[in-house]
Structure formats: C-alpha cells, structure tokens
Chains A and B, each alone.
Chain A
Amino acid sequence: MTDLDPAEFFESARRAAASCAGGTAAEQAARLAEDGLLGVLAPEAAGGLALPLRFAVPVVAAASGALLSLPLVETLLLARIAPVPIAAALVAGETIGTISWDCAVDACETSDGVVLDGVVGRAPGTRDAGWVLARLRDGRAALVATSAGGLAVGDADGFDLAVPEGMLRLTGVAVPSAHVLPADACDGLIVDAEVLRAAAMLGSAELCLAAAVEHATNRRQFGKALIANQAMRHLLARQKLQLENLRGVLNRALAPNAAPIAARVAFAAACQYGPAIIEGAIQVHGGMGFTWDLDLHRHLRHLRMLEAHGDGRGVRAAIAAHLIDSNAA
C-alpha cells in the first residue's frame, strides 16, 4: 500500500463529494462507497483498504469542503473498529455510523451482553445513522442500532446545518456482547478523531479562503477592485498564514514518529485557526458574507460544532497539563 498517494484520495473524494453534495446523507454514503472512500480505514475483511490515518485525512477534508451531511469522521472510524458485518455495511454505504462524543450511559451486565440506560449526546448525523457508538461510564463503548427498542431520538441541535448533531435517550436498550468494545479501542479512536476533525476544519477553511480571494479579486468598490487595497491583501495573507500553520501541525501529527501530543496540538490549532479563517472570509465578503445564501456560515457553524465534539478547551487544558506536569520545578 506504500505506493498509494494520499493526494490522489483528495482528488477522488473531491470529485465524489461534489457530485453528491445536496443529496441525502444516504445518497452521499452510497456515492462515496462507490469510489471505495468509506473503507479507507476499515479492515480488508470488511471490504476496506486498511490504510493509515493519513489516507483518511484528504477524504475528510474534501467532504468538509463540500459540506456533506454524512457524519464522515464517525463513519470512517466506526468502519475500522466495528464487528465485520457492520463494518462491511458501512464500507458499502448501506448504513451510516455515528459516534456520541458526550455520553452519560450506564451498563448493566446480562448473560449475553449489556443493557444500557442513559443519554447519548453530541452525536452528529443521528437522524440518518443506522448505528451509534456510545461511550459507557466504565470506559468501554457500545455499538447501538438506532432502530433498537428503548431508544428515543431527541430533537437535533440546529446549529450545524451540514451535519446536525442529535441526542438519544436509552432506556433498557439491550446490546449483545459482540457489540461492546474494550476501553483501549475507544482511546485510540478519540485521538484519531482529533486528527480527522483538524482535517475537516482544514478542508472547510481552505475552501472559504479561496472564496474570499475570488470575491476580493472580482468585487469592485469605490472604483477599484477590493484586492487593490493593502489592508485587504494583508488580511488575506494572514488567513493564508493561519491555513498553512494548521496544515503544518496536521502533517506533523500524521508523521510515522509523531509524538502522542501531536494529535491534540493539531486539533487545538484547528480550533484556533479554522473558525478564524472563515470569520475572516465572511468579513472579506462584506454584507454578502452575512447572507444565508452563501455557504460561509454553514462552514462556520460546522467547524464550531467540530470544536465542541472534540472539546477544544478541554484539549488545550490537557496540553497545558502535559507540559506543566512533565516540567520539574
């Protein structure tokens, strides 16, 4: 697999995402599956490619740029760790997976699995998902079919228009033991999700900056193009700096010898730079930037929710704790 080029995955994903943007999440999943893009991380036994995370990064970036409503980060990660039949369905685009990033779920052991009670929050694309992974209070995670008895889907949070997140209430939901994952599988999943969220933010930010450059180049005000003003050129240059800052730390996190903290740094940088670039793009667009018709606000909403899914402030606190605790007085 070493002869594969992640950049080619970006082009392939960009074309596929562009062709299905605006469709339903199910249609988008089917379209990406056609090109084998949902199985980038999944094991070969499930029809996947079992590639390293760096190959998923361009796929997520391209999908975020196209504002797909499919919870792609979660579907890709779930396809890697789910039992083979479920993973195969995810890879084939026959079902959609999501992950709850904020749960309060208790498990009661039974002879053939667990029974779950609690609330599953911050799960993007809940309405479209066939499966949701919920972290249990004891550190394990349970893969729950959204059609399971005892499961009620709450109102979606309407802030993220691209991939609305939802809430599920579990009341005596039975889950077989094969669908209960050990705690260490979940820990790795959280770290990889931080990297993929950073990739999504990079994809959105890059697209919004390109839109800002195009607008500033073509828009004329007071008899000259906006781009002729040094203030505008410097503003765009600063946005480009932020974009390349993010790209650099994301690439560091993907290096084979990356330090464990690198994924957190990439996500923290994405939370800092991603929304700032889009806010800047709205500013460059002037009044047009504040209209519903332009997608800039959709990207901004999506990035702010990605920040919440990964608990940006908590990640920064963890980085500081790592530094302070490892530093002798």
Chain B
Amino acid sequence: MTTLELDSPLAGLSGDAYRTAAREWLARNAPQQFLADRAGYTAPTVPELKRWEAALYRGGLAGIAWPSSYGGHGRTLAEHLIGNQEIGRLALPESVNSIGKELAGEAGSDLAGLCTRATPDGDGWRIDGQKIWTSGAMNAQRCLLLARTGPVSDRHRGLALFAVRMDSPGLRVRPLKQANGKEGFCEVFFDGVYVAPEDALGKPDEGWAAAIRVLSIERATNRMYRAWRFENELRHLIAAAKCDTRLAALLDEADYRQRIAATFVDIEVVKGYVEPAVAALVAGDSIGARGSLMKLHWSEAHQRFAALAMELLAQASPDAPPTVRNAQRHFRDIYLQSRAETIYAGTTEIQLGIIADRILELPRGR
C-alpha cells in the first residue's frame, strides 16, 4: 500500500490550534446550500456528497485517524474527536461512508447465524448468497462482507471478512425504499462472485473477532460528531421557533422549557460517553461493550428529541416564515430517520442484552 502525500491544512497541528484550523477550514469550504439549518438548503445529490467527502478528506477532516499507510491522515483519536466536534457544529449532511452495518447477513443482525458462503477458489474466494441492510451499497465501490467458510452450526467460528469490489461480476444490488422515502439500505446478491486473495481481510477464522471489533468501534466512535450535531439541531429548533410568534410563545411555556432542558441534558450525556471513549482508545484500551451504553442512549435520546421537535413545530402559525417551514421539513426527516437509529448497528434489545451480559455480567439464571 502506497503512502499518500497529503497536504492537509491541519497537518502538524494539535489541540486548540487544530480545532481553530478545522473550524476555519469548514467555514471557508462547507457548501452553504448543504447546511440544513439555512434557508437556502438543498438536499445534496450523491455525486455532490461524494465530492464533499473528498473535499473533507483533502482538508484533513475525513480519514483523520486512519493510518497514513492506508491513505489516512495518521492522526490520533484526539484529533478525530476535535474534527468531529467541529463538523457536528454545522448542519452538514451525513457522511456517505459507513461501516459495520454492512456486516449483517440474511439472518438479520444475528451475525453468528449468517449463511452467505465463501469457498476457496484458486488463490482467492468465491462468494454465494445474499445480504440485506447494506447501507449505501448502490453508491459504494467496496463492501465489507462477513461470510461463512464453515457450516452454520459453527456459529462464531468459520467466518471470514472481505472487502469486496462492488463492480465484481455476479454481484447485484437492489436498493430498499425506506419508511422515510429514501433509499439508504440495499439487498446485495452474490452469485459466484470471485474475491481476489488481497481483498480477504485477516485469516479465514478471524472474521468474527474483526466484526465484533468493527461493531464496538462503530457504536463508540463512528460519526463521533453526533452529540455536537444534536446540539446544533437543538439550537436550530430554538432559532426557528423564535421566528414565529406562536412558537416563540411556546418557548416561554414552563413545560416546553423543561423538555428542552431534558434534551440538552440528553445531549450532554452523549458527550459524557464520547470523551472518555476517546481517552480510553488513545490510552490503548478497547471500547468493548461500553459502546452499547452510548449507542442505546444516543439513539433513544435522538428519538425523544425528534418527537419534541415535531410536536413543537406542528404548532407553527399558518403564515410562518420560510425558516420555520424549512425547519419543519428538516425535523420531519430527522424524526423518520431516527426510527432506524434504534434498529441499525444492533437494536435497542440487542444493546440491552449486551449491557446485561457483558457490563452488568448478570448470570444466566436457571
């Protein structure tokens, strides 16, 4: 793998200097029409999103903590956190890249029960089977794939991880229309898809451990900007409400103030998970099951917040200004999207099970 020569404006900076440079870069480069809390917001197309992601990368704000030998910026998670905080402060679109969620097979999120098979084929592998809930597959060039090399009864054993080329012969993608009208997840069909040996990640029996590591990191660090994005959304809601006489009056009601404060506390709780997780990872510790606490909290907290925003904005005046109409559309999207957040990357019930088993270490009981 060739080390890329990156000329990021953030190279060599750390701490407050890194934060200031990141903030300034975003102020100069973030496309104003992508900012969902601005009046001129237009939903970006996939090509636009990819161009923005590439710009973030060149600016030093994507692939922050990836090793430089794999094309990343080779910084620590401390810079990853700062970069994500600054990205989260702006109402920018979600990243087109995703990890972890691609791992689920036709057994839903029961990774140990997946059936997609990988059989040796010369130096490489041949993949047969079907995947579902593969996010962004219709736009992806690569897909992280967990496939079975042994019998299903092996459960956790005999699973291998691959980075499959999406233009491979025999691979077909069918996007799934979601409850919010968008197409984010896909079904992916593998019909004798050949995977070159260099696209197998680790040894054939190491797939399960790698998948668990990916999922625990996903729960703790992927889209680390969430807390700061939620805070931005809350500030957007308040700012929009102030623009309408009816909503401004509601903002003065004691009960709405109590719920706004509870939302802010919820957001601060998310930050209370992110920062120690980064410190632990920087110190060489693993996140492990603790990622489940954060994932369970943020996903449910975001649903509570989205429901509050929907309820509040629904009471706007009929002649409310465009900023309020824009906010209504934005928070309806968030409300619908948030229904998925307690499902993907391990459902609420899965997280509760992990907390019971691996954090509280409750005995099974007979």
Which A residues have a C-beta under 8 Å from some C-beta of B? 213, 216-217, 224-230, 233-234, 236-238, 240-241, 244-245, 247-249, 251-252, 262, 265, 268-269, 272, 313, 316-317, 319-321, 323-324, 327-329
Contact = CB atoms under 8 A, between A and B. Distances in A.
Contact of B239 (A228, A230, A241, A328): A328
26 contacts: A217-B362, A217-B363, A224-B365, A225-B365, A225-B366, A228-B364, A228-B365, A230-B353, A237-B351, A237-B359, A240-B359, A244-B273, A245-B269, A247-B272, A248-B269, A248-B272, A269-B268, A313-B258, A316-B257, A316-B258, A317-B261, A320-B258, A320-B261, A320-B264, A328-B239, A329-B239
Nearest to A245: B269
Interface in B240-286: 242-243, 248, 251, 254, 256-258, 260-262, 264-265, 268-269, 271-273, 275-276
Contact of B349 (A234, A248, A323): A234
Nearest to A317: B257
B360 A213 contact: yes
B352 interface: yes
A244 B258 contact: no
Given A224-B366, A251-B276, 6 more contacts: A217-B362, A234-B353, A245-B272, A249-B265, A319-B265, A327-B242
B51 interface: no
B355 interface: yes
Contacts of B325: none
Contacts of A226: 365
B269 A317 contact: no
A232 B261 CA distance: 30
Most buried by B among A217, A226, A245, A247: A245
A249 B365 contact: no
Contacts of B366: 224-225, 228
Would you list the 4 A-B pairs with minimal beta carbon distance, nearest first?
A248-B272, A228-B365, A225-B365, A329-B242
Main secondary structure of the interface of B (DSSP, over half): helix
A236 B275 contact: no
Contacts of B254: 317
A318 to B, nearest CB: 8
B221 to A, nearest CB: 16
A229 B352 CA distance: 13
Contacts of A237: 351-353, 355-356, 359-360
Size category, B interface: 35 or more
Contact of A233 (B248, B276, B297, B362): B362
Contacts of A238: 352
A323 B235 contact: yes
B200 interface: no
A207 B244 CA distance: 48
A321 B257 contact: yes
Most buried by A among B260, B265, B297, B364: B265
B352 A268 contact: no
Nearest to A262: B268
B111 interface: no
Contacts of A248: 269, 271-273, 276
Contacts of B268: 249, 252, 262, 265, 269
Contact of A323 (B238, B243, B356): B238
Nearest to B274: A248
B82 to A, nearest CB: 13
B262 A323 contact: no
Nearest to B355: A237
A320 B356 CA distance: 34
A323 B297 contact: no
A154 to B, nearest CB: 30
Most buried by A among B275, B276, B355: B355
A113 B144 CA distance: 76
Given A225-B366, A241-B293, A323-B260, A329 B359 contact: no
A252 B356 contact: no
Most buried by B among A236, A272, A320: A320
B275 A252 contact: yes
Nearest to A229: B365
B365 A227 contact: yes
B234 interface: yes
B362 A227 contact: yes
B320 to A, nearest CB: 13
Contacts of B349: 234
Given A217-B362, A269-B269, A233 B353 contact: yes
Contact of A324 (B251, B269, B352, B359): B251
Contacts of A313: 258
B296 interface: yes
A240 B265 contact: no
B272 A251 contact: yes
Nearest to B296: A241
A265 B235 CA distance: 17
A226 B260 CA distance: 37
Interface in B218-250: 234-235, 238-239, 242-243, 248
A248 B227 CA distance: 14
Interface string B291-314: 001001100000000000000000
A316 B255 CA distance: 10
B238 to A, nearest CB: 4
A327 B243 CA distance: 12
A268 B351 CA distance: 25
A241 B297 CA distance: 8
A324 B260 CA distance: 9
Given A245-B297, A252-B272, A323-B264, A217 B235 contact: no
Contacts of B273: 244, 248
B293 A319 contact: no
A281 B189 CA distance: 48
A252 B260 contact: no
B272 A249 contact: yes
Contacts of B352: 233-234, 237-238
Nearest to A249: B272
